[in-house]
Amino acid sequence: MALITRLLIPVLLLIPSSSFYLARSFRNSVPRNRNSVQSVVLCTTIQSTSLSEMESWLNKNNVPTTVAKHRETDTFRGLVLSTTTATTPNLQQSIITLPRSLTLSTTSASHWDSELATQLLNAVFLGSSSPLSGYVSLLTNGQYGSSSAPPPSLPLDSSGLPLSCSSSPLPQWTSPSSLRHWSASERSYLIECCGPVGERAVKSAIDQLQSWVKISGSDPTGILNTDDIKDNRTLWFVWAMEAVNSRAFRGVGGVENGRLVAAALIAQGLGLASGCVGVGFDEFSMVAGGGVAFFIGLGVNIFKGLRNPKEVLMLPYIDSANHDAESKNLIQYNPIKREFEFTWGDADSRQDEELFISYGDRSSVDLLINFGIIKGGKEGRESDRRIMAEMLAQMQ
């Protein structure tokens, strides 16, 4: 019994060291129904140069890219299982590992998106000197990032945004089909098709866009879609806010008590060794010390969880996975290695097939406003806005 106890405590010690991150703010799912297509993707075209720069950046930072590869078509980009993989991953196997140093994060509760947007804009205009140069290249379709020359300095305006926003050309939108980009006639058709639901969607999109413009310090009066924004600096801020709101992940506050966990494991190991080989250590004190370390670690986790219940992050590479509300793939955080892990959970996926992550049980209006996507549709990849409006009407 004592041996079992000594073996069990180190396992328990690992429990408080794991922190789960919820994809795109939610992680609820609905029962899988193979008779209807529930996969939806971000519809955008991506240049091969930005893909190669992203891959090169990941490899330079020792992030393996052999299992999950970026793929582009005329209408979408995403991640697929690489055909070069020797075997299909096992359940709960990590197929992507991303160091925390390659992420953007904030713990702000009320201004998380504007803080992340400001960080992203700084990374964009740092050019090739940015630690996130490859990620920036992917988001801007190669217009900025690894291949761009860094400025001698990064002057900021009174709001903390790069002055370069006022003059630099805007790259392609990260969610070009989202409702904030629809024309007046397209929105009228949406309302005609969907009635009150369409009206609510349009109003929500306008309110969101105007709030972003106001945060940037500009006057939101009369701005109904992004075409109404004439100030280049405001356009850049809205571009960054769109990228953040369509790609950021929210989860339980990260726990970084790796030293406590390691110390407890060492104490437990010494206690176990003393019982097995009789090296003279005081078994009881080792076991007790490990137990104390465990409860200290648990207390630290609880405290950090109460003080910082939600951290919001942008996770390069991982966030290239498109949405499937029924996906069992997960994102986990390993505090000892300081790495985020995309773990395998969709047992029915095969090599050369797309990898998904659930953004949660999002409403159709939410998906349309922030992602420009509709559940279902032709292979889940419909990008024609009139057809999207008709699809939304059929879902009511």
35-39, 221-225, 246-250, range with greatest mean pLDDT? 221-225
Residue 354 has pLDDT above 70, yes or no: yes
pLDDT at 351: 73
Render 14-60 in DSSP notation, one character per residue: TGGG-EEEEGGG--------TTS--EE-------HHHHHHHHHHHHH
pLDDT at 344: 82
Phi, psi (rounded to 5 degrees) for 209: -65, -45
Task: Count CA atoms within 13 Å of residue 30 on its CB side.
Answer: 14
Residues in the chain: 396
Q: Spell out the residues 6+ positions from residue 347 whose beta carbon is closer than 8 angstroms to its own.
A: 91, 328
pLDDT at 157: 92
The answer to whether residues 77 and 46 touch, using CB atoms and an 8 Å cutoff, is yes
pLDDT, average across residues 1-6: 49
Residue 88 has pLDDT above 90, yes or no: no
pLDDT at 301: 53
Q: Round to whole Å and give the CA distance between 112 and 57.
A: 26
Instruction: Categorise residue 182: left if φ over 0, alpha if ψ from -120 to 50, beta otherwise.
Output: beta
Residue appearing with tokens 């280049």 = 232
Task: Determine what percent of the chain is predicted with pLDDT higher than 70.
Answer: 67
Q: Round to whole Å and give the CA distance between 219 and 106.
A: 27
pLDDT at 40: 40
127-136, 262-271, 362-371, range with greatest mean pLDDT? 127-136
* Residue 164: band (very low, low, confident or very high) from pLDDT cuts 50, 70, 90: very high
Task: Determine what percent of the chain is predicted with pLDDT higher than 90.
Answer: 39
Lowest mean pLDDT among 276-280, 316-320, 390-394: 276-280
CB atoms closer than 10 angstroms to residue 7: 11
pLDDT, average across residues 297-323: 72
pLDDT at 72: 73
* Residue 70: band (very low, low, confident or very high) from pLDDT cuts 50, 70, 90: confident
pLDDT tens digit sequence for 105-128 = 998 878 999 999 999 999 999 989
Q: What is the dihedral of CA 127, 133, 135, 141, to 10 degrees?
A: 40
Render 362-384 in DSSP notation, one character per residue: --HHHHHHHT---SSSGGG----
pLDDT at 66: 85
Render 107-147 in DSSP notation, one character per residue: --SSSHHHHHHHHHHHHHHTGGGSTTHHHHHHHTTTSSSTT
pLDDT, average across residues 57-63: 94
* Residue 264: band (very low, low, confident or very high) from pLDDT cuts 50, 70, 90: low
Beta-strand ranges (E) seen in 186-268 are 249-252
pLDDT, average across residues 227-243: 97
* Residue 87: band (very low, low, confident or very high) from pLDDT cuts 50, 70, 90: low
* Residue 207: band (very low, low, confident or very high) from pLDDT cuts 50, 70, 90: very high
CB atoms closer than 10 angstroms to residue 219: 11
* Residue 46: band (very low, low, confident or very high) from pLDDT cuts 50, 70, 90: very low
Residue 265 has pLDDT above 90, yes or no: no
Angle at which helices 112-125 and 232-247 pack, to 10 degrees? Answer: 110
Please provide the distance, in angstroms rounded to a whole number, between the alpha carbons at the two ends of the chain.
59
The identity of residue 32, as a single letter, is R
Residue 4 has pLDDT above 70, yes or no: no
Phi, psi (rounded to 5 degrees) for 359: -85, 0
CB atoms closer than 10 angstroms to residue 378: 11
- Going by the DSSP 8-state scheme, the letter that residue 151 receives in this structure is P
Residue appearing with tokens 């529930």 = 38
The answer to whether residues 346 and 356 touch, using CB atoms and an 8 Å cutoff, is yes
* Residue 241: band (very low, low, confident or very high) from pLDDT cuts 50, 70, 90: very high
Give 330's strand partners. Answer: 343
pLDDT at 233: 97
CB atoms closer than 10 angstroms to residue 263: 18
pLDDT at 120: 97
Tell me what the pLDDT averaged over the chain comes to.
Answer: 77
